[in-house]
């Protein structure tokens, strides 16, 4: 007996399924397109504010550290522009089969040169919006101190998250002895991960502002953000530590290294890209968070110490500023200021996401580190 071949399309009801399938697909694509267009709109709407480099030199306003801040900001802006150009050039060259024309070192040199030249020569020609002080009542306010605070928050909170988060992850992945204690740590992390961010804000408020009477401070905000990020960082770091092959550890131990030496010299370097990508993601959350910062770092910018590195002063970030301008502020151009702030935030968050994805791609057995070692 010969079996008749049946094609899928001959099955009963297949036309209905095909219709449903394309309906679902159209819906899903529309769904993503809405978000994509929303992101593009945000960048385009506020893009004018953040891309209008001035032909004249902006006069200094006489705030401490201002020229240093302008230098760093210009270096970052031009460094990112250089990085984008290098990535685009590499993509174009590899498409034409000439990827040998520009190796990694040349790319790095281009980025470094762009950053240095931009910092040296273009720091006074940055868009006014990015370096001016905010204004609550007049048009033309900028986001200079907010931008500075946002980056400074990222540095401060990473300074806490990095040692504590990686330390706890290494402990859980490699040195844990007592199952009960490990259970306690995991329960604590699960609880932290589930808490709404406002609860962290209340905790920081209670500890730093009420009990210690320290007032609103960047340190309090950074501490709270570090706590908020701990579950994420410990989770991803532990996962990348678990992905390190046991054979590597065993080889190192067989050579006579102690377990701590093995962890520091073998395990951690292997897992490092994954850990870095967790840190970058956590920085993205620092950029985005607002409620806990309002309660711990306040909503004010003081002119006298706008660019001060003192962590015990208060100050608002970009996200807080966006809320403040729309809820409390009275400036007539708040729509434009909000658009510009939102565009900067979206660009910053987008960059951290791209960077985290790239870093995560470097890790593990397929990573560039391993490829380099086994070439």
Partner 1 sequence: MGPTVALAQAEREAGDSRSASPARVGDALVRGFLVACAVFVVLTTVALLGFLARTGIRGAAAVGVGALLTGDIWKPEAGVYGGLALIAGTFISAIAAVFIGAVPAVLASVWLTEFAPRSIRMGYRRVMEIASAVPSVVYGWLALVYLVPLMSGLAHAIRGHDAPVTGEGLASAGLLLGIMIAPTVLLLALDALSRVPGPLREASAAVGASPWQTAFHVSVPYAWRSILVAIFFGFARAAGETMAVQMVIGGARRLPTDLLFSPTTTISAQIVMDMQEARPGSTESDVLFSMALVLLLVSVAVVLVTRGLSRSKQGAR
The two tokens of residue 108 are 């790095």
> Which region among 76-84, 86-94, 105-113, 348-356 touches partner 1 (by CB under 8 A)?
348-356
Give whichever of 155 and 335 is closer to partner 1, judged by the CB atom.
Answer: 335
Figure out which of the listed residues 44, 251, 264, 365 binds partner 1, where binding follows CB under 8 A. Answer: 264
Distance of closest approach, residue 375 Cβ to partner 1, in angstroms:
27
Stretch that binds partner 1, among 67-75, 127-135, 261-269, 361-369 (CB under 8 A): 261-269
Smallest gap from Cβ 34 to partner 1, in A, equals 9
Angle between helices 334-362 and 144-170 (to 10 degrees): 30
Binders of partner 1 among 192-221, rule CB under 8 A?
192, 194-203, 205-207, 209-210
Residue placing its CB nearer to partner 1 in the complex, 32 or 113: 32
Residue 262 token pair? 């093995």
Q: How far apart are CA 261 and CA 269, in angstroms?
A: 12
Question: What residues from 26 to 45 belong to the interface with partner 1 (CB under 8 A)?
Answer: 27-28, 31-32, 35-36, 38-39, 42
Contact present, 299 and 291 (Cβ < 8 Å): no
Nearer to partner 1, 201 or 311 (CB): 201
Judged by CB under 8 A, the stretch of 6-14, 64-72, 86-94, 102-110 that binds partner 1 is 6-14
Identify which of 203, 200, 184, 183 has the alpha carbon closest to the alpha carbon of residue 192: 200
The verdict on 181 binding partner 1 (CB under 8 A) reads: yes
Radius of gyration of the chain from its Cα atoms, rounded to whole angstroms? 25
**Could you say whether residue 146 binds partner 1 (CB under 8 A)?**
no
DSSP letter for each residue of 204-224: HIIIIIIIS---S-HHHHHHH
Q: How far is the CB of 228 from partner 1 (least distance, A)?
A: 11
Q: Contact at 8 Å (CB) between 198 and 228?
A: no
- Is there binding between residue 312 and partner 1 (CB under 8 A)? no
Q: How far is Cα 375 from Cα 370, in angstroms, rounded to an integer?
A: 8
The residue within the footprint of partner 1, chosen from 81, 248, 288, 355 (CB under 8 A), is: 288
- 189 in helix, strand or coil? helix
For residue 367, the minimal CB distance to partner 1 (Å) is 18
Interacting span for partner 1 (CB under 8 A) from 117-125, 128-136, 187-195, 266-274: 187-195
- What is the DSSP secondary structure assignment for residue 307, as one 8-state letter? T
Nearest CB to partner 1, comparing residues 43 and 63: 43
Q: Is there a contact between 349 and 287 (Cβ–Cβ < 8 Å)?
A: yes
1 binds partner 1 (CB under 8 A): no
Do residues 297 and 218 touch, judged by C-beta distance below 8 A?
yes
Tokens of 173: 């992945």
Is residue 335 near partner 1 by the rule CB under 8 A? Answer: yes
**What tokens were used for 327?**
């809820």
Residue 140 found at the interface with partner 1 (CB under 8 A): no
Smallest distance, partner 1 to C-beta of residue 238, A: 11
DSSP state of 140: -
| CA–CA dist 102, 81 (Å, integer) | 17
Q: Does 101 bind partner 1 (CB under 8 A)?
A: no
Round to whole Å and give the CA distance between 67 and 3.
Answer: 82
Whether residue 46 contacts residue 342, with contact meaning beta carbons closer than 8 Å, is answered with yes
189 touching partner 1, by CB under 8 A:
yes
Stretch 63-92 residues interacting with partner 1 (CB under 8 A): none
Please identify which residue in 208, 221, 222, 289 interacts with partner 1, judged by CB under 8 A: 289
């Amino acid at each position: 007996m010969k079996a008749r071949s049946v094609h899928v399309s001959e099955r009963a009801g297949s036309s209905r399924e095909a219709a449903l399938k394309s309906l679902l697909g159209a819906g899903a694509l529309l769904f993503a397109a809405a978000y994509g267009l929303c992101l593009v709109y945000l960048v385009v709407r506020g893009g004018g504010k953040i891309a209008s480099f001035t032909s004249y030199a902006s006069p200094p306003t006489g705030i401490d550290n201002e020229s240093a801040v302008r230098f760093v900001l210009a270096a970052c802006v031009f460094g990112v522009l250089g990085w984008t150009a290098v990535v685009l050039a590499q993509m174009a060259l590899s498409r034409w089969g000439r990827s040998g024309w520009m190796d990694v070192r040349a790319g790095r040199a281009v980025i470094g040169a762009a950053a240095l030249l931009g910092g040296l020569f273009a720091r006074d020609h940055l868009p006014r919006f990015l370096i001016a002080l905010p204004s609550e009542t007049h048009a033309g306010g900028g986001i200079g101190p907010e931008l500075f605070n946002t980056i400074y928050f990222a540095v401060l909170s990473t300074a806490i998250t990095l040692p504590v988060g990686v330390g706890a992850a290494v402990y859980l992945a490699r040195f844990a002895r007592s199952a009960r204690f490990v259970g306690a740590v995991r329960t604590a992390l699960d609880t932290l991960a589930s808490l709404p961010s406002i609860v962290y804000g209340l905790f920081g408020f209670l500890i730093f502002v009420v009990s210690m009477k320290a007032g609103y401070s960047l340190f309090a905000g950074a501490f709270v953000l570090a706590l908020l990020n701990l579950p994420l960082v410990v989770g991803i770091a532990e996962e990348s530590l678990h992905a390190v092959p046991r054979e590597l550890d065993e080889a190192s131990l067989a050579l006579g290294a102690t377990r701590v030496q093995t962890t520091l010299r073998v395990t951690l370097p292997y897992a490092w890209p994954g850990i870095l990508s967790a840190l970058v993601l956590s920085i993205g959350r620092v950029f985005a968070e607002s409620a806990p910062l309002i309660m711990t770092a306040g909503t004010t910018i003081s002119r006298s110490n706008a660019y001060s590195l003192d962590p015990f002063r208060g100050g608002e970030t970009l996200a807080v500023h966006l809320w403040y301008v729309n809820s409390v502020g009275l400036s007539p151009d708040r729509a434009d200021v909000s658009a510009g702030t939102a565009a900067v935030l979206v660009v910053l968050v987008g960059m951290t996401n791209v960077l985290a994805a790239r870093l995560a791609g470097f890790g593990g057995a397929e990573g560039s580190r391993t490829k380099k070692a086994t070439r």
